[in-house]
Amino acid sequence: MVVQIKNTNPKKYRIYIAFRGMNKVTLTDHFPTPFTNKIINEVAGHGCYSFTNGVLGYNQVPIAKENQEKTTFVSEFSSFAYKVIPFGFKNAPTIFSRIVVKAFQEYIYKTMAIYFDDWIVYNLLKNHIHLSLNIKKCLFATPIDILLGLVVYKDGMKVDMAKIKVILDLKTLVNTKQIKIFLGTYKLLPLIHKALFKYHIPHG
């Protein structure tokens, strides 16, 4: 199945191929996802940052020629196959993360932090690094910016007020039903920290 997904730019579309069959038989790559809390703690507290974003991400990663036919999809005009890892492929993020971590291994948690295609430099690099960047998503030599939902700066980190504006503007909850709706579902309550259970919320 070929689906056009609207991009943030209304004039552009992203093609999504439903690789359900291929993904079902693909072995999962268990390369660990970057720990966001470790990244935040490492990056916060520095005086100057450069926030960079890689161009195309995993769409730069080539597929072995003998495996390209496995990505074949059919349209009303013809059949096509990918030469690079496509959007919708099961292991695409983890494969890209593995490559990026390997490429920047000597710099990670020393001068820069890596979160998939977001690369944050917070100390001077001893060597030049040649990167292909999405310049529209980059910010260089700034004392403060938002990283993974938090504001990082020389004094540490703080909450991005724009992220919690909805909560701050929320009207007072006056009954059990409203509390349950706010929390999403009653089944999620056991996952919330015990400190929130000051009052018992009955069923019904």
Which tens digit of pLDDT belongs to each residue from 121-135? 988 766 666 677 888
pLDDT at 127: 64
Over 80: is that where the pLDDT of 26 sits? yes
Which of 113, 104, 61, 52 is closest to 82 using CA atoms? 61
pLDDT at 11: 65
> Beta strands of 23-144 (E only): which ranges?
49-53, 73-74, 79-80, 112-115, 118-121, 139-142
Average pLDDT of the residues of the chain: 79
Confidence category of residue 175, pLDDT binned at 50, 70, 90: confident
pLDDT at 87: 82
List the single range of 17-26, 87-96, 175-184, 193-202 with lowest mean pLDDT: 193-202
Rounded distance between C-alpha atoms, residue 62 and residue 194, angstroms: 47
pLDDT at 143: 92
Segment 76-92 mean pLDDT: 87
Which tens digit of pLDDT belongs to each residue from 37-77? 888 888 999 989 999 888 878 888 899 999 888 888 887 88
75 or 202, higher pLDDT: 75
6 or 50, higher pLDDT: 50
The model carries a pTM of 0.66
Q: Cα-atom radius of gyration of the chain, to the nearest Å?
A: 22
Which tens digit of pLDDT belongs to each residue from 176-199? 888 777 776 445 445 444 444 444
Side chain identity at 11, as an amino acid letter?
Answer: K
pLDDT at 133: 83
